[in-house]
Amino acid sequence: MSFFSRISDRSKEIDSLLCVGLDPHLAELNVASDADEETVAAAALQFCKSIIEATHPYAVSYKPNSAFFESLGEPGHATLTSVISSIPNSIPVLLDCKRGDIGSTASAYAQASYVKSGADGVTLSPLMGYDSVEPFVTGEFAGKGGAFLLCKTSNPGSEDILKGVAGKIARLAGEWSERANGEKGGVPCLGLVVGATDAAALRQARMEAKGLWILSPGVGAQGGDLDAALMAGLDEEGSGMLVPVSRGISRAEDRAEAAKKLRDDINDARKRVVEGKSKKEDGIETFQTEFIEFALQQGVLKFGSFTLKSGRESPYFFNAGLFDSGAALFKLGKAYAASIMSSELALTSSSVKFDVIFGPAYKGISLGAIVAAALYADFGVDVGFAYNRKEAKDHGEGGMLVGASMKGKKVLVVDDVISAGTAIRESHSMLTKIEAIPVGVSIALDRAEKRALDDPVSAVQAVARDLAIPVVSIVGLKQLFGFLSGSGDFDASILEAVTKYRSEYGVD
Ligand SMILES: O=c1ccn([C@@H]2O[C@H](COP(=O)(O)O)[C@@H](O)[C@H]2O)c(=O)[nH]1
């Protein structure tokens, strides 16, 4: 059975994502500073065995780090193999050796790790390319061995090189895994090491490598935020991530209790992820609920009876002009940014499919600016910002456009609502004329209602269809309805009126 199948099975069987590290730091071995190698090695073996004894009900896997065994000198290798053979067979062993070398040498490392040491999986550096990884997961180790590739490690120095290539490594891991598995396909044979110290990198890795296991060290002694890491790195089933902890367990007064607590803390976070997902399936995400609550509080969203320009009597009204303070605009920008990043306009969790935000005069100008700022603040996405003047300037630099150059660039248009869609169409035609490439529209509210009873398409759908670009909204009528139904705070007559309005004018 392959390494990652065993990890999956064991994780399900014991309902845990905890990987227990076996790092016999000399300082933890209680031996005299002048003790001979044999004595130190015996203490290291005892140290690891006592951790295994205390933690095995919670451990999906054990992760001995080869450095600590190599540092024991001559008896080091025998100690490592003794530790590995003392681990119950039902628990897969991950040797943290971070190898990476040319193919022929990598083959020797694979022999050393799997055959001589008895490990089931390894950690590898991917920087020398596919041929340095292949010997660990093909040939005699095909369908058996598995490797976690260093992607964005937990140490501060991971900012120096890995930060810039983590996205690429995450993508390549999926491709290499398929290449190694060949026509047989099957469970991926590669995973990724992404430190719990960088939630953004975890989010990106999870997006790039949906089906791969992520090993996320850095919790405990290195200060990684367990909760933030899990929220970012867990897959949609609340799994797919192993949390290795070494010193956080080995140095605890009660190791069994420490491992149990970690297992439970991890499982609590998993539950929240799964609950969050089912909420999403109900049609409303957290940022949307927060946005509706905030719009109500701000008086932007009102329930009652309102006559629209179209002559329709609407049970609700949205007046974006009432986002009229620094705090309100700040929150509004965050909501736009969250909706963009959870839409098809996001490329990864920290990159987008557009280069410039365009805010059409007048309302779009301030909206575009706050969205550009929020994308940067909340997601590290730094795109250009431009807007237009309604009237040409006859002095200074002149011209109708201000801000980032849009020629040849992919542009997102930001506005508040689409009523008839005329303003957005005008922006689109202006952008096309200056050789910009409009790729999407972002709005606050999609009323999602038919343009006329004999025209079943909404204004937003018509814009998306005619201009062939996505229109993304923070909320739509569906979420508004979901919010009202789920909240016990509104008069039944409001829900009734919105239900009636939706069934009469709403589009799917
Ligand atoms: O990015 C990485 C990759 C590997 N490690 C290893 O994991 C353990 C962490 O030990 P703690 O005591 O839980 O901090 C150790 O063996 C490292 O070499 C890592 O920390 N970060």
In this predicted complex, what is the ipTM?
A: 0.92
d(CA 253, CA 251): 6
Tell me the best of 19, 80, 123, 222 to mutate to test the pocket of ligand 1, counting ligand atoms within 8 Å of each CB and taking the most. Answer: 222
How far does the centroid of ligand 1 lie from the alpha carbon of residue 221, in Å? 9
Q: Sorting pLDDT into bands at 50, 70 and 90, what band is 382?
A: very high
Check pLDDT > 90 for residue 344: no
> Cβ(64) to ligand 1 under 6 A?
no
pLDDT tens per residue across span 229-271: 888 799 988 999 999 999 999 999 999 999 999 999 999 988 8
Which residue, 377, 381, 385, 414, is CA-closest to 401? 385
Joined together, the tokens standing for residue 381 give 């996405």
More confident residue, 64 or 487: 64
Q: Which residues, at least 6 apart from 394, have a Cβ–Cβ distance to it below 8 Å?
A: none
Of 283 and 117, which is predicted with more confidence? Answer: 117
By alpha-carbon position, which residue is closest to atom 3 of ligand 1? 153
State yes or no: pLDDT of 281 exceeds 80. Answer: no
Strands 450-452 and 455-458: antiparallel
Q: What is the three-class DSSP state of 142?
A: coil
Gap from CA of 153 to ligand 1 centroid (Å) = 9
Task: Tell me how far apart the alpha carbons of residues 10 and 48 are, in angstroms, rounded to a whole number.
Answer: 20
The confidence score (pLDDT) of residue 438 equals 94
pLDDT given for residue 279 in this prediction:
55
Ligand 1 atom 1, closest CA? 153
pLDDT digits (tens, 9 = 90+) for 19-71: 999 999 999 999 999 999 999 999 999 999 999 999 999 999 999 999 999 99
Is this model's pTM higher than 0.80 or not?
no
Whose CA is closest to atom 11 on ligand 1?
246
Higher pLDDT, 281 or 103: 103
pLDDT at 162 over 80: yes
Confidence at residue 492, expressed as pLDDT on a 0 to 100 scale:
85
Is 134's pLDDT higher than 60? yes
Return the DSSP state at 143: T
Q: Which mutation among 246, 247, 251 tests ligand 1's pocket best, with the greatest number of atoms within 8 A of CB?
A: 246
Percentage of the chain surpassing pLDDT 70?
Answer: 97
User: Is ligand 1 within 6 A of the CB of residue 359?
Assistant: no
DSSP character for 417? Answer: B
CB 136, CB 181: distance < 8 Å: no
pLDDT at 278 > cutoff 70: no
Answer positive or negative: Cα dihedral of 6, 12, 17, 21.
negative
193 lines ligand 1 (CB under 6 A): yes
- The C-alpha angle 60, 65, 71, rounded to 5 degrees, equals 155
Q: Which of 395, 407, 433, 450 is catalytic?
A: 395
Q: How confident is the model at residue 342 (pLDDT cuts 50, 70, 90)?
A: confident
Cβ(146) – ligand 1 distance below 6 Å: no
Please state, in angstroms and rounded to a whole number, the distance separating the CA atoms of residues 162 and 437.
32
Determine the distance separating the centroid of ligand 1 and the alpha carbon of 21, expressed in angstroms: 8
Å from CA of 25 to ligand 1 middle:
12
Q: Closest Cα to residue 64, out of 2, 119, 132?
A: 119
The count of other CB atoms within 10 Å of the CB of residue 174 is 17
149 has a pLDDT exceeding 70: yes
Mutate which of 65, 250, 251 for ligand 1 pocket (most atoms within 8 A of beta carbon): 65
Lowest-pLDDT choice from 37-41, 212-216, 485-489: 485-489
Q: How would DSSP label each residue in 20-53?
A: EEE---GGGS---TT--HHHHHHHHHHHHHHHHH
* Atom 19 of ligand 1, nearest CA residue: 217
DSSP percent split of the chain into helix, strand, coil, nearest 5:
50, 20, 30
Give the lowest-confidence range in 157-166, 275-284, 300-309, 340-349: 275-284
| Parallel/antiparallel/unpaired status of strands 121-124 and 146-152 | parallel
Instruction: State the average pLDDT over residues 141-164.
Output: 96
Instruction: Report the pLDDT averaged over residues 109-124.
Output: 98
Q: Please, are residues 58 and 266 in contact by the beta-carbon 8 Å criterion?
A: no
pLDDT band at 82 (very low <50, low <70, confident <90, very high): very high
| Mean pLDDT of the residues in the chain | 92
- Per-residue model confidence (pLDDT) at position 466: 86
On the question of pLDDT at 216 being above 90, the answer is yes
Number of the ligand 1 atom closest to the C-alpha atom of 195: 1
Predicted confidence at residue 348, as pLDDT, reads 77
pLDDT at residue 396, as a whole number: 56
Mean pLDDT computed over 99-123: 98
Q: What is the mean pLDDT of residues 209-227?
A: 91
Ligand 1 centre to CA of 34 (Å) is 27
Q: What is the tens place of the pLDDT at every residue in 401-432? A: 999 999 999 999 999 999 888 999 999 999 99
Cβ(250) to ligand 1 under 6 A?
no
Work out the average pLDDT over 161-170. Answer: 93
Our answer to whether residue 395 is catalytic in this structure is: yes
The span from the CA of 450 to the CA of 462, in Å, is 10
